[in-house]
Amino acid sequence: MTQTKAEPIIRWEKLPDEFQLPDDPVENLYHPLLAAILREILELAGFITNSMLIASNFGLCANVDGKTVVKAPDWFYVPSVFPVLPGVIRRSYTPHTEGEVPAVVMEFLSEKEQGEYSLNPRYPYGKWYFYEQILQVPIYVIFDPASGSLEMRSLNSGSYTLQKPDGNGRYWIESMGLFLGVWYGKKSEITNYWLRWWDSSGNLLPWGEEKVQQSLQQGLQQGLQQGLQQGKLELIMRQLTRQVGQIEPTLESVINNLSATDLDQLSEALFDFSHGSDLSSWLEGLKA
């Protein structure tokens, strides 16, 4: 007879304060940057709220068959967690006990270790098995920075199913209302493949440097438009003064507050005015 393996007994116990978490050095500088930028973009977009937990290389915990299991994804997102007391810093996260199950976990493959794909169903368990069978995380993302390969799997009937990207090579994550995709370029002096977010309309969400550049460009454009508007206004006022004499303060105030379109119309009608009353009547007609 074939003996089937018993279902694991899972208890959602908060990690004891005395539990010694591993303190391994990071393998390279790229993975932490990749994770940090994913969060940075969401922060700048106003996506992150106080009730969320977004972390990288941070312990997700469960007690399985009496043994404490801790896995640290390269990046994960929890939509809602219970608040901690003031001054308390989270050391780890246990779903159900401290909040919701993570909605998304990501692993960035390295040259040394392909353990992200491990389906080992026995202690200490493979990451794939832990996310799929123990935590039951809805979305599992695996990214290979060396090739730019991105895979996303969703939990269906207890097992991960490989999803197909859209026509742009991006994956829609319903729980976040965002697309996740790959972008190639330079960031922090590193030219490589990066994970990026796009909104539901397909607009690329900027990271910090891009946000600053966009703000500068918008400021320059606004400044240029304001400068052109002011220059046109000064020319019109000089010409009006030559034709009708001193402009009454009330009329001057009206002219100063004209829109760009109305100012264009006034410039075309300039030579129709010979008296201040002509100008006044024209402005009254503009209001009507």
CB 155 within 8 A of CB 166: no
For the ranges 1-5, 189-193, 240-244, the maximum mean pLDDT occurs at 189-193
Q: What pLDDT does 1 receive?
A: 46
Q: What is the pLDDT of residues 67-99, one digit of tens each?
A: 999 999 999 999 999 999 888 889 999 999 999
pTM, 2 dp: 0.73
Residue range 187-212: mean pLDDT, rounded: 90
CA distance 24 to 257: 64
CA distance 104 to 54: 10
Whole-Å CA distances, 267 to 247, 252, 262: 16, 14, 9
Q: In percent, how much of the chain has pLDDT > 90?
A: 52
Helix boundaries (H) for the chain: 30-44, 127-129, 208-244, 249-256, 260-268, 276-287
Q: What pLDDT does 134 receive?
A: 95
Q: What is the pLDDT of residues 228-280, one digit of tens each?
A: 677 777 777 787 787 777 888 887 888 788 777 887 787 777 777 777 787 78
CB 183 within 8 A of CB 196: yes
CB 70 within 8 A of CB 60: yes
Helix boundaries (H) for 132-207: none
Q: What is the pLDDT of residues 21-42, one digit of tens each?
A: 766 655 677 899 999 999 999 9
Which residues, 6+ apart, have CB-to-CB distance to 193 below 8 Å?
A: 145, 147, 148, 182, 183, 184
Residue range 165-179: mean pLDDT, rounded: 97
Q: What pLDDT does 168 receive?
A: 96
Q: In percent, how much of the chain has pLDDT > 70?
A: 88
Encoded tokens for 111: 């040259």
Encoded tokens for 234: 């000064």
- Residue 149's DSSP bridge partners are 144
Encoded tokens for 130: 């832990």
Q: What pLDDT does 4 receive?
A: 56
